[in-house]
Amino acid sequence: MLSAMSTPEKGILIVSLDLELYWGVRDIARLDESRDKLLAARAAVPRLLDLFTRHEIHATWATVGMLFFHSKEDLLRCVPRTLPRYARRKLSPYEDLETLGANETQDPFHFAYSLVQAIASTPRQEIGTHTFSHYYCLEDGQDVDTFRADLNAGVSAASRLGIGIESLVFPRNQVNEGYLQACAEAGIRVYRGNNAGWMHARRQRRKESQPWRGLRLLDCYLNLSGHNTYDPREITGRVPMELPSSRYLRMNPRWLGPLEPLRMRRLRYEMQHAARHGRVYHLWFHPEDIGADADRNYSFLEKVFEGFADLREEGAMESLNMQEFFHRFEKVKSRSPFCPALKSHPSRQLGQNYPRIALISPG
């Protein structure tokens, strides 16, 4: 018997990064506490680009829109007219705008024009959006209209530099399915979803308890949640497409060093499972996670991606960024014998479900 989409011959590694600098932590940490970590994040970007180039990693860099600017003057001209009114006022970055430095040289914590240019000029690296203001889609006081204005501002900030945006990562992974139509209208074709399962349910940050975080940390070492890969045929038939994450590549403190062999074995097992079964393995992290202990963390990342490189050399795995995966998926699905009229089907409109492709397993 035939399958509408046969099992892929290779596993697929997707890597996405959330590039935020201070915009991503301003509500939970003071700038004077974060300066060293943020400067280390800036230094991490060229080193990560070199690492990705050497190991042929195609990555998506979901970048906060406010980072695209070279100067405060340029940024202020592009602020959306409609702003969120969070119940927790400290979530809004707009009250901080007057305190920004004049440009990237004076204020490397809020501007990253040079980093965006470096990423854009590196082959196989995609720049996506992390919204304009690091927008929180599940917090009280905001709505779809202010989200739409924010997202459009983020897309426009990239467009000013000649960068087209098709991929989105929701800040704090606060995926709001009620906002997907607005995403589609803004040209978003694919977004990063959350890991499947009870351990990774979407919730507001203040509802993230220590026990939940502890369980996720333990899962990095012990198999509590399974292999965390997925069959690309399971992707729902709609635009924007959801690409669930598989694992957050956390950079652990030195006191957890004795457990690192367990963590590496867990990562290698998941990656090898994806390669053996033609499944997707989606890793994500922040450049800001590199921190002051940069050499140790680079050594960890080097080992992770060496594992991928070995599988790639065996012909068992390939790397795609989120945009590439979307277009590969669309190409395969449009050839499906079970849905020959997919391209012209009226429900193919953005943000709406179109017919699922029937999957018939062999035997």
pLDDT tens sequence across 43-53: 999 999 999 99
Amino acid (one-letter) located at 250:
R
Confidence of residue 254 (pLDDT cuts 50, 70, 90): confident
Rounded-to-integer distance, Cα 226 and Cα 249, Å: 16
Kindly state the average pLDDT of the residues 231-245.
Answer: 89
What share of the chain in percent tops pLDDT 90? 72
pLDDT in tens, 141-200: 999 999 999 999 999 999 999 999 999 999 999 999 999 999 999 999 999 999 865 555
Taking 60 as the threshold, does the pLDDT of residue 12 lie above it? yes
Q: What per-residue confidence (pLDDT) applies to 220? A: 57
Kindly state the average pLDDT of the residues 241-265.
Answer: 88
The reported pTM is 0.86
Q: What per-residue confidence (pLDDT) applies to 235? A: 83
Tell the CATH topology of 11-348.
TIM Barrel (3.20.20)
Confidence of residue 331 (pLDDT cuts 50, 70, 90): low
pLDDT in tens, 75-122: 999 999 999 999 999 999 998 999 999 999 999 999 999 999 999 999
Say if residues 298 and 259 touch (Cβ distance below 8 Å): no
Coil/strand/helix, residue 60: strand
φ, ψ at 3 (rounded to 5°): -110, 140
Rounded-to-integer distance, Cα 133 and Cα 142, Å: 13
Coil/strand/helix, residue 301: helix
pLDDT in tens, 59-72: 999 999 999 999 99
Q: What per-residue confidence (pLDDT) applies to 207? A: 54
Coil/strand/helix, residue 219: helix
Residue 47 tokens read as 């080193």
Confidence of residue 291 (pLDDT cuts 50, 70, 90): confident
Kindly state the average pLDDT of the residues 331-354.
Answer: 38
User: 260-277 vs 294-313: helix axis angle to the nearest 10?
Assistant: 30
